[in-house]
Amino acid sequence: MQSPIVNIPSTKMNIMGRPKTAPLGKHREFAARFKKSLNESGVSGSYAKIGKVFGVSATTISNLINGEKLPSMELAKKISLKTRTPLDWLMNGLADCHNIDTIGHPNVTFQDRNLRRIPLISFVRAGTWDELMDPYAVEDAEEWIDWPFEAGERAYVLRIEGVSMFNPRTGEGYPDKSQVKFEPDIEAKHGDDVVVRTPDGSVTFKTLQITNDGMYLAAINPDWPEPIIKIPKDSVICGVADGHFTPRRRR
């Protein structure tokens, strides 16, 4: 028996896909931004037609619109360029969703950054990161992060555990489970947030304080039991924090 043919209207289709329901996938927030970028840039039609704009399949577009998956960074760059929306906003909701050609929004910028995947590693591995000849050995990464900002050749990401570097009164700092990018090739200065390996092999994340009396590590949380400690001799700074984001829903 011949399968029924499903006709797709030739008129413009509402990008929302499922007009009366929210996306079913876990990436709802990205899906909403993706659909908004399509609608505001005039990209419409069937999933197959939209897919041709970005050089991907109808299945890929369906997954993005319904929040099932996130795009690769290569595809995210294509979407950003084709829809003329800031990549920072598309991927993370940062800045404003304005067409990057819009006059009167000087705070909205767009750059073709050196975007790539960087490794998320453990704190133990971070303590030896400065010794690695090849910082991108696959076995060293717990997972790979599509980082939508500039990153150095040896950059890595740590998932912060605990609240020593978060001030619950002001919201300053890094909440529990934050993913923080570190740059081991940036020279650490007073006030930088750094990962340090002490001579006994332990690794900690604190704010560097350089004084006339020596170098110290300070917690951002004012209620932390040890708010400030002196850095032991022969300790090694393994990276300077250079950016972070916090998942909105814990899983």
Identity of the highest mean pLDDT range in 14-23, 68-77, 118-127, 155-164: 155-164
Domain boundary assignment for the chain: 10-106, 116-245
Distance CA 86, CA 105 (A): 12
Q: Read off the pLDDT of residues 32-56 as tens digits, 9 standing for 90 and up.
A: 999 999 998 889 899 999 999 999 9
Distance CA 191, CA 216 (A): 10
Strands 228-230 and 214-218: antiparallel
Helices and strands (H, E) in the chain, number of each type = 6, 9
Mean pLDDT value across residues 134-157? 68
Class for the domain spanning 10-106? mainly alpha
CATH of domain 116-245: 2.10.109.10
What pLDDT sits at residue 114? Answer: 44
Give 246's pLDDT tier (boundaries 50, 70, 90): low
Per-residue pLDDT at 248 exceeds 60: no
Distance CA 114, CA 249 (A): 28
The residue among 95 and 161 whose pLDDT is bigger is 161
Give 177's pLDDT tier (boundaries 50, 70, 90): confident
Name every residue whose Cβ is closer than 8 Å to that of residue 202 and which is 6 or more positions away in sequence. 127
Residue 140 corresponds to which tokens in the numbers above? 């060293």
Are domains 10-106 and 116-245 of this chain identical in fold?
no
Name every residue whose Cβ is closer than 8 Å to that of residue 201 and which is 6 or more positions away in sequence. 127
Per-residue pLDDT at 140 exceeds 70: no
Give 152's pLDDT tier (boundaries 50, 70, 90): confident
The residue type at 115: L
Distance CA 68, CA 87 (A): 19
Give 78's pLDDT tier (boundaries 50, 70, 90): confident
